[in-house]
Structure 1
Amino acid sequence: MYLNCHTYYSLRFGTFSEIELLELAGENHVTQLALTDINNTSACLNFIRKSEQYGIKPIVGIDFRNGVEQLYVGIAKNNEGYKELNDFLSRHLYEEREFPQRAPRMENAYIIYPFKKAAEWEDCELSENEFIGIAIADLRRLAFSDLLSLREKLVVLQPVTFRNKRDFNAHRLLRAIDNNTLLSMLPKSEEAGEDEKMFPLQNLATVFAEYSFILENTERLMNSCHIHFDFSSGRKPQNQQTYTGSKKKDEELLEKLCREGLPYRYPEAEKPIWDRLEKELSLIKKMDFVSYFLINWDIVSYAREQGYYYVGRGSGANSIVAYLLRITDVDPMELDLYFERFINLYRTNPPDFDIDFSWKDRQDVTQYIFSRFKHVALLGTYVTFQYRGVMRELGKVFGLPKEEIDVLCDGKHRAVNLDEVSVLVKKYSKLIQGMPNYVSIHAGGIIISERPLHYFAATNFPPKGFPTTQFDMVIAEDVGLYKFDILGQRGLAKIKDAIAVVRQNQPDRSGFDIHNVKAFKTDPRINNLIKHAQCMGCFYVESPAMRMLLKKLAVDNYLGLVAASSIIRPGVAKSGMMREYILRHQNPKRTKEKAHPVMLKIMPDTYGVMVYQEDVIKVAHYFAGLNLGEADVLRRGMSGKFRSREEFQKVKAKFISNCREKGYADAIIFEVWNQIASFAGYAFAKGHSASYAVESYQTLFLKTYFPLEFMVAVLNNGGGFYRSEFYVHEARMLGAVIHPPCINKSFVQNIIKGKDIYLGFGYLKDLEDKTVKRIIEERERRGSFISLEDFIERTAISIEQLSILIRIDAFRFSGIDKYELLWEAHFKLGSTKKEEEPPKLFKPEYRHCDIPALRTTALEASFDQLELLGFCLRSPFELLSKEPKNRNGAKDLQRYTNRYIDIYGYLVSIKNTTTHNGKRMNFATFTDQDGEVFDVVLFPQVAKTYYFWGKGIYRLYGKVVDEFGFLSIEVVKMEKQDYIPDPRYAEEQPNGNKELLKKI
């Protein structure tokens, strides 16, 4: 009898989930009900999926509203009606326009107008599918209304938005947040009525007893509604079923493409390759995944035609078919990639293909997919209310000042120090924390469906410019819609741009093949770079943690890098197995002593340590005796994408009981289980790690043979793990001469000429885009600027913008000191902002004056650079107010091993972390006075005494420790060093410089 139920997907309005709605219905003996969220269908599929479990017949629809004004409720008679409603809703969401007061004619959906709305009509003519809804609150007025004569058209429309007073309070908070108003100022018209609750069916029947025909009409309407989606384990994929239009032709095409790919990948294909190919093709056909492979092949083929770089990752990289189709560049035969991780008969979902494109190319690839295939949408995801966001929003709702909100947000306050209102904010925050706030876009998921996507849900049209589903990846997989992951990555743009820079700067050396990874893997120069962790700027291997691991493992080959790429993941590290792996790697005797024989037999390459995601399957299957289907349940449970915890717990229980039957001791069983559990959401498939390692080798090749061009490409793509300053520093260490921006040579991005790197205008954060555009266009049209006066005449620049360029020394070609140029600029332009002007027929007359001889010091130039670029182009150690007491650096760590060292370092990066018992500690990376990198750790006892006070130079005193060949300093004392006072603002300024600086 309930045709108007809301969940919290009625965003910033509803207060509980679709599962809680079903539970509520069960408590009130309701056997069928309709979920009708406000302008949203996000919860519908899961509501249908779970309804059988609660013994409830599901009905779905939409509550159409303009703001909070309820216009009508649409109820789907069947799946076609659900699509009609989704079509109508999506159209209005796309166009961001209001819904009409009367709904359009629908063949397979009912429209129910609320009594209050219908009572305002002069003409109450209703179509066959239209009804008038009566809530409990309307019964008093119904007896005196002409609408009572429309007996066959009246149905119960009792809204359900709350379960109790707590829900109503949460609702009011959500409405205040949505209206950006104080709770005390929230208009009643913006709230739902507190009586929008569900009552037991018997109570509802009693209330409507006088109008039993309304109950009969409602039951008849509900009985006529039937909606079905297949959520069974044996469901067929709902993705596009064929690529060519015929399954037979699809299979023939897939086989043809594999045969054509063999000579490229395997010039001399031997029997194991043919056997693996035949095995894969047979299973791909049997599982109906042929079109899935062909669609991925189509996407990467388009990318290659356009000259776009890409990397295929995910479990699909375990496939020889994917390798032959050039979806991936990982050879599963070379790495002995586990076939059952890629696909097995128990697996209903196709393998993952995460295809990375350059962040510059991804948009075009996405556009191609939408134009190439018929039923396409981006996959949605929901951003939920999290702690900090809730505190900030509720702080505003309760009228707290910003300072008090900031205290609540940082989470470090003590409850006894909070005032009464702040306590209320904390109390009520628990009501809405975790609720969906707004729909967003999945990082890379795209759905390509056999049927229009409005069969499944409505779609939004966010700023990305593509339709986006109102459901997430979990429910998509539940219903059989498997995403294609099209991801954007800056690492690929670095490779592509580096090659372009090499062609421009060293054309005679640009004939290499960046895809010749087989040659890179055996190049001693590249492998030596990895071994010594000289990887700044290189994909996935440049972070301090990765540098540390590479040194500890002394990695000097491709397979070692593949392992390292997965060992670094939090799952392996968390379980303690990263340390164990290193110990076994360095000491083969330990492997024999510590590794369980079965585990060692399963994973000989990783010393019996679980490193890859497929190791979970191997261990579950061979160690615990689970079948591959049960093993895959564990694997999915660890991937972070899993739905059924109940199913997972059953498999866990079987894992333990099977191991006991095999005679393993409980200590061994639970040690292995804890390793598996630590993988949750973190482990990489081996093929995934191998794909990362391939890209790492490509960037390492460029770093080895074209270091300066590569660093320019890194800088032009926003850097990487570190700030841009350190990639500039790395380029200098590699032999580059770094120049500040120049009006005659610089562009928005950095450029290189020989060994000279000219920084781009983009680093000058206060320089406007239109100014940069005008400079470059004028320079390309009429040649280089010959003087400041020439520049002013040709660019119509304001004094504020011109001052930035002069202060960064962009006119140094003139040979005139920049202070003199600043005086000249002020005389020529004055202090008013000069707007863009049309070209003048005659040269303007400027005032002439005699400018005193001025001189910029190197220190003043450095402080200008610090202010304008964010870093200076000389060693920061030259800015210290006191000269360092020693020259100790990274080169000295070896001889100080197990001794204490006094050392100065310029802060590169900090990693804040906590110990297992919640105490704060820090890892940090510095550069020494020679520009070399070294690492330190501050354990909790030290970290609570010494703090990092932003970037700058620190004096550190600590013990040098050697852990598996990696040297670091355990800090005992630390002090930040002062820079000299900024000479531009010192009391004694020669030649009137101080007065000029005040002016500008």
Structure 2
Amino acid sequence: MYINNHSYYSLRYGTISEIELLEMAQEYGCEHFPLTDINTTSACLNFIRKAPSYNITPIVGIDFRNDAQQCYVCLAQNNKGFLELNQFLSKHLHQEKRFPEQAPSFEHSVVIYPFEKLLEIEKTTFSTHEFIGISLADINKLRFSKLSEFTDKLVVLHTVTFRNKRDFNTHRLLRAIDTNTLLSKLPESQQGKPEHKIHPLAHIKKAFEDYPHILENTKRLLTQCHIEFNFSKDRENQNLKTVFGSVNQDYDKLVKLCESGLPKRYEIVTEDIRQRLKKELSLIKQQNFVSFFLINWKIIQYAKSMDYYHVGRGSGANSIVAYLLEITDVDPIELDLYFERFMNLYRASPPDFDIDFSSWDREDVTRFIFEAFGTNGQAALLGAYVTFKHSGAVRELGKVFGLPKHEIDKLSSGKYDPNKLDDLSKLVLRYAKYLHGKPNYISIHAAGILISEKPIHYFSATHLPPKGFPTVQFDMHIAEDVGLYKFDILGQRGLGKIKDAIAIIKENHPDVILPNIHNAKPFFEDPNINAMIERAECIGCFYVESPAMRMLLKKLGVQDYLTLVAASSIIRPGVAKSGMMREYILRHKNPARRKLAHPVLWDIMPDTYGVMVYQEDVIKVAHHYAGLNLGEADVLRRGMSGKYRSREEFQAVRNKFIANCRERGEADDVIFEVWRQIESFAGYAFAKGHSASYAVESYQSLFLKCYYPLEYMVATINNGGGFYRVETYIHEARLNGAIIHVPCINKSSIDTTIKGKEIYLGFQHLQGLEKRSMLKIMEARVHGSFCSLDDFMERVPLSIEQLDILIRIDVFRILGKDKRSLLWEAYYKCNHITINEFQQQLFEVHIKDFTLPKFTITDLENAFDQLELLNFSLYDPFILLEKPPTSTLLSTDLIIYLNKIVVIYGYLITVKNTGTSKGDRMNFGTFLDQNGQWIDTVHFPPVAKKYPFRGKGIYRITGKVVSEFDFLTLEVIKQERMPYVSDPRFDTTYNRKDLPKEPDKPFGVLR
């Protein structure tokens, strides 16, 4: 009897999950129960999946509304009807069109018009699939309406959105958030009604006792609706089935591609290689994954044709087929990659391929995918839901309750005394708890693209986000449940750096012949590159530049590819948390320590000394140590990721793991220690092939950094940096001999450029300089360099605000005038002529010349201008201190003060905030000393609380020098941020002659 039921996927309207709706339906004795969310089908697939568990026959449909005003409720009679509804909804969502007053003539769906709506549009004729919905409030009105004569068309249309008063209150708050209005001003037209809650069937039957035919019509209508998707383990793969016309043609093509790839990848094709290939091809065919590989191959072929760089990673990197198709550059034979992590008979899903492109190239690759595979509506981006977090919910609720900003900030930060809160603030916090975790709005999965055999609307409606590609209304977990497996196309700055660096090297060194960057194997054996890794001199290089990675490289003494592959995985948080990072380092450096390994684990993982490092180690341990089959082992691996942790199958596998180990005679303390290690890290570790893919890209970038450091740093800067801010890469370039210039009006471009060893920062780094101003400068310079400020102002009409930025950063220094004189001229001329930014001047305007006094501009003034306009200074930051450092200690001196307390000055580069096992906050700091070399600090909770970081600047640090695996760290006891001198541009008392002497250091001075 319940036709119109909303979950909280009726965004900013509903309050109940689809599972809670099913629980209610079961409690009230329903056999058939529809889900009809407002203008969305987000929850439909999961609703259908879970309904049998509650002995419910699921029905799905859509409550079509313009704004909050109901037009009609539609129910899919079958899967074709669901397709119809999704297509109709998607068309209007894509075009942002209002729904018409009357629904189209669906063939496989029914339309229920609300009684009041029919009176409004004066509809008096009804097709076979159209019905009249009568709510509890409409019963008395029906008696006096001609619509009562349509006895076979009348059905119960009762809306279920709430369970209780709290739900209704939450709903009203959601509506106020959605309409961006105060709760007190929320119009009733934007709200549901308090009576929109589920009533016992007896109550509804009693209300309609004078109209038994309405009850019968409703029951009959519900029993005529049926929808079915296969969510079982043996579900059909719903991805595109063929690429070249038929299954056989696809397989023949795959075999030919692999055969042609063998001599390209291997100088000698051994029997082991042949057997591995044969095994993979057989299983790929058996699992119906041939098209999955061919689609990825076609994507790569297009990228190569456009000279786009890529990295293929994920579990698919364990595959020799992927290696031969050039989807990945990881050789599974060389690395002995575990086949069963990539594929086994128990695994329903295809292997994961995460394919990275530069951020610039990714958009075009996505466009290609939609053009190549989405012409019949078979491609879509994968959706993702952004849920309410406590802080965000507090802010939204604070606004609709009308709280002032400072009160909202206080509540959101959590820094308040609960006993001193007023009733309104308590109300905000209470309802923020109710909203926490509920969906707020739909977004896009970071990388996932679906390519299905059936039209994508068979599974879901789509909307059209700003990216311009159709996006389904469910997430990756539901997609996998129904048999749709995503293709991951990601954007990554590291590849942009490599591509741009090669182009810059060719321009700066036209005679140089570079090796094939895609063939990384020679780099693995390069002693110069490996020595650089061992010294952890990897700033700017993909995945190996962070302070944590720099620390790990030094502790391990990494000097080869295989150890870097391991490092790429053990740096992950789960491995470190479980204690296995430390244990791996101990066993790596001390062979005697390896004897502590469990003999079975040593046999399973000899290359990592019996320590679980990679994701597939979970499968190996579960299969060989605990005796689980590969399917159960994979359930364990997936469960550890959090995806299936709550599901019954995972709990069953956990119990079997423990039981099997006990049967094999293992002691409980060993069993539970192994289990603890698995549980703590599996969801955060990489597959070995994935780590190997990362290590390949690391070596590619390390080669460029090793032999062409300046060009590589320029490419890094132009691609938005990496782990650090731009100034860190500028500092790194200077350490490698670069001469750095602020932007120059005649030599700089929008991007940063290099000529020889001279690097000119790009106009893009100037804070407040608009993109159109940069383009105007570049367009005007095509006709020749600028010879004076007058020349510039005539050819590039800019506002005085834009001109001020250029002058103060000293872009006109090449013209021979100091910037203060130029500022006088610019402001004088802008006050005497009208500057129109959008119109080129036709005639030269002469301004009377005037004589200015000679100005003195100090380096300190320049440094402050740079801080303001670049967000960093090219000067040594230590010249900005109000008082000279009281300690000259450098990081290279720390070794002689081991286990002693020292005082050292450091310029803050980055801070990592983390938590202890008890939930206390602590920090890891990274600084540069007065010589521009690294200082690494650890701030335990009491110190972190007493001496917090106060933003960028120079800190005086007191701490104890400690060493672990020969890596020096300062355990901070006390720190304080040292004050800078007063800004001389605004301090009239500053003595310009009394300047600190600029030291000759790697920080250097402005050229």
**Any residues of structure 2 matched to 1:220-235 within 5 Å, and which?**
220-235=220-235
Instruction: Out of 717-726 and 879-888, give the one that drifted further.
Output: 879-888
> Structure 1 residue 204: deviation in Å?
2.0
Instruction: Describe the SS at the equivalent of 1:151.
Output: coil
Q: Helix, strand or coil: the match of 1:536?
A: coil
Matched, 1:444 2:444: no
Does structure 2 retain, via aligned residues, the 8 Å contact 1:799–1:832? no
1:902: Cα distance to partner?
1.6
**In structure 1, distance between residues paired with 2:86 and 2:519:** 49
Quick check: 1:213 aligned with 2:213?
yes
- Structure 2 residue aligned with 1:995: none
1:997 corresponds in structure 2 to none
CA 1:43–1:644: 2 relative to 1, 3 Å: same
Query: What are the within-5 Å matches in structure 2 for residues 417-816 of structure 1?
Result: 417-593=420-596, 595-642=597-644, 645-780=647-782, 782-816=783-817
2:854 is matched with: 853
Q: Which residue of 1 aligns with 2:133?
A: 133
Matches for 1:307-386 after TM superposition, within 5 Å: 307-374=307-374, 375-386=378-389
Q: Is the 8 A contact 1:47 1:58 kept in 2?
A: yes
Q: d(CA) in 1 for partners of 2:885 and 2:646?
A: 61
Task: Give the match for residue 998 of structure 1.
Answer: none
Q: Determine the C-alpha separation between the residues in 1 that align with 2:983 and 2:450.
A: 57
Conservation of the 8 A alpha-carbon contact between 1:743 and 1:810: yes
Change (3 A) 1:714 1:153: same
Distance in 2 between the 1:591 and 1:903 partners? Answer: 39
Aligned-pair CA distance for 1:798: 2.2
Matched residues in 1 for 2:474 and 2:543: separation?
32
* Aligned-partner residue type, residue 66 of structure 1: N
Gap change, CA 1:833 and 1:336, over 3 Å in 2? farther
Partner of residue 263, structure 1: 263
Alpha-carbon separation, structure 1, partners of 2:474 and 2:792: 56
CA–CA distance in 2 between the matches of 1:681 and 1:411? Answer: 30
Aligned-pair CA distance for 1:206: 2.2
Q: Distance in 2 between matches of 1:420 and 1:3?
A: 39
Instruction: Name which of structure 1's ranges 885-894 and 651-660 shifts more when overlaid on structure 2.
Output: 885-894
Q: Report Cα offsets for 1:494-523 as digits up to 9, x if no partner.
A: 000000110111111243211121100010
Q: Supply the distance in 2 between the matched residues of 1:839 and 1:543 (Cα, whole angstroms).
A: 48
Q: What is the deviation of 1:154?
A: 0.3
- How far residue 989 of structure 1 moved from its aligned partner, in angstroms, is 7.0
Decide whether the 8 Å contact of 2:312 with 2:353 is kept in 1.
Answer: yes
- Cα distance in 2 for residues equivalent to 1:841 and 1:311: 52
Matched, 1:912 2:913: yes
**C-alpha offsets along residues 327-372 of structure 1, whole Å, 9 cap, x if unaligned?**
0000001111000000000001000000000000000000000000
Q: Deviation at 1:820?
A: 1.3
- Structure 1 counterpart SS, 2:511: helix
- Indicate the residue corresponding to 2:953 in structure 1: 952
| 1:406 and 2:409 aligned | yes
Is contact 1:726-1:908 (8 Å) kept?
Answer: yes
Task: List per-residue Cα deviations over 1:585-636 (Å, max 9, x = no partner).
Answer: 122212202x111111111111111111100000000110111111010011
Contact 1:800–1:833 (CA<8 Å) still a contact in 2?
Answer: no
TM-score relative to the length of structure 2: 0.97
The one-letter code of the counterpart of 1:824 is: E
Superposition deviation, residue 417 in structure 1: 3.0
Gaps of 5+ in 1: 993-1000
Rounded Cα–Cα distance in structure 2 between residues aligned with 1:990 and 1:978: 18
What amino acid is the match of 2:500?
D
What is aligned with 2:275? 275
**Partners of 1:60 and 1:941 in 2: CA distance:** 56
Q: For residues 968 and 643 of structure 1, what CA distance do their matches in structure 2 show?
A: 38
> 1:893 is paired with a residue of what secondary structure?
helix
Per-residue CA distance 1:443-486 (angstroms, 9 max, x = gap): 00000000101110100101010000001110100110000000
CA distance in 1 between counterparts of 2:35 and 2:348 reads 29
User: Is the 1:502–1:510 Cα contact (8 Å) retained in structure 2?
Assistant: no
Identity among equivalent positions (%) equals 63
Is this contact kept in 1: 2:587–2:594, CA < 8 A? yes
For residue 732 of structure 1, what is the amino acid of its counterpart? Answer: R
1:818 alignment counterpart:
819
Deviation (angstroms), 1:414: 3.0
2:980 equivalent in structure 1: 979
Name the CA distance, whole Å, in 2 between partners of 1:989 and 1:611: 59
8 Å CA contact retained: 2:618, 2:682: no
Q: Is contact 2:639–2:650 with CA below 8 Å preserved after alignment? A: yes
**CA contact under 8 A between 2:797 and 2:836: conserved in structure 1?**
yes
Q: Is the 8 A contact 1:359 1:490 kept in 2?
A: yes
Shift, 1:958, TM fit: 1.2
Equivalent in the alignment of 1:194 = 194
Q: Which amino acid in structure 2 is aligned with residue 536 of structure 1? A: I
Q: Tell me if the contact between 2:162 and 2:197 (Cα under 8 Å) persists in the aligned partners.
A: yes
Separation in structure 1 between the aligned mates of residue 297 and residue 583 of structure 2, nearest angstrom: 40
How far apart are residue 119 of structure 1 and its match?
Answer: 2.2
Contact 1:640 1:680 in 2 (8 A): no
Q: Is the 8 A contact 1:319 1:342 kept in 2?
A: yes
Compared CA separation, residues 616 and 680, structure 1 to 2 (3 A): closer
Between the aligned partners of 2:461 and 2:122, the Cα distance in structure 1 is: 33
Decide which moves more: 503-512 or 652-661.
503-512
Does the CA-based 8 Å contact 2:795-2:841 persist in structure 1? no
SS in structure 1 of the partner of residue 89 of structure 2: helix
Q: Read off the aligned partner of 2:22 and give its amino acid letter.
A: L
Q: Which moved more, 1:884-893 or 1:77-86?
A: 884-893
The reply on whether 1:148 has 2:151 as its aligned counterpart is: no
Query: How many residue pairs were aligned?
Result: 990
Matches of 1:634 and 1:543, distance apart in 2: 31
Residues 1:52 and 2:52 are matched in the alignment: yes
Report the CA distance between 1:642 and its aligned residue: 2.8
Matched with 1:72 is: 72
29-38 vs 632-641, greater mean Cα deviation: 632-641
Which digits, 9 at most, give the CA deviation of each residue in 1:377-435, with x for residues without a partner? 00001111111110100111111111111111112333123222111111111221111
Please give the alpha-carbon distance, in whole angstroms, between the structure 1 residues aligned to 2:363 and 2:207: 57
How big is the shift at 1:983? Answer: 1.2
Name the SS of the counterpart of 2:3 in structure 1: strand
Post-superposition Cα deviations, 1:199-239, rounded to whole Å, max 9, x if no partner, equal 22233222212101011111111121121111111011000
Amino acid at match of 1:877: F
Q: Which residue number in structure 2 is paired with residue 99 of structure 1? A: 99
Where 1:678 maps in the other structure, the secondary structure is helix
Per-residue deviation, 1:988:
4.1
Aligned residues of 2:899 and 2:961 also touching (Cα < 8 A):
yes
**Ranges in structure 2 where 5+ consecutive residues have no aligned partner:** 994-1007
Amino acid at match of 1:247: V
Give the superposed CA RMSD.
1.4
2:24 aligns to what SS in structure 1? helix
Alpha-carbon distance between aligned partners in 2 of 1:512 and 1:256, rounded to the nearest angstrom? 28
Is contact 2:32-2:59 (8 Å) kept? yes
Alpha carbons 1:828, 1:847 under 8 Å: kept: no
| AA matched with 2:719 | N
Give 2:878's aligned residue.
877
Normalising by structure 1, report the TM-score. 0.98
Contact 1:919 1:940 in 2 (8 A): yes
CA distance in 1, matches of 2:459, 2:918: 46
Q: Distance in 1 between matches of 2:241 and 2:963?
A: 58
Partner letter of residue 236 of structure 2?
Answer: K
Contact 2:638–2:683 (Cα < 8 Å) also in 1: no
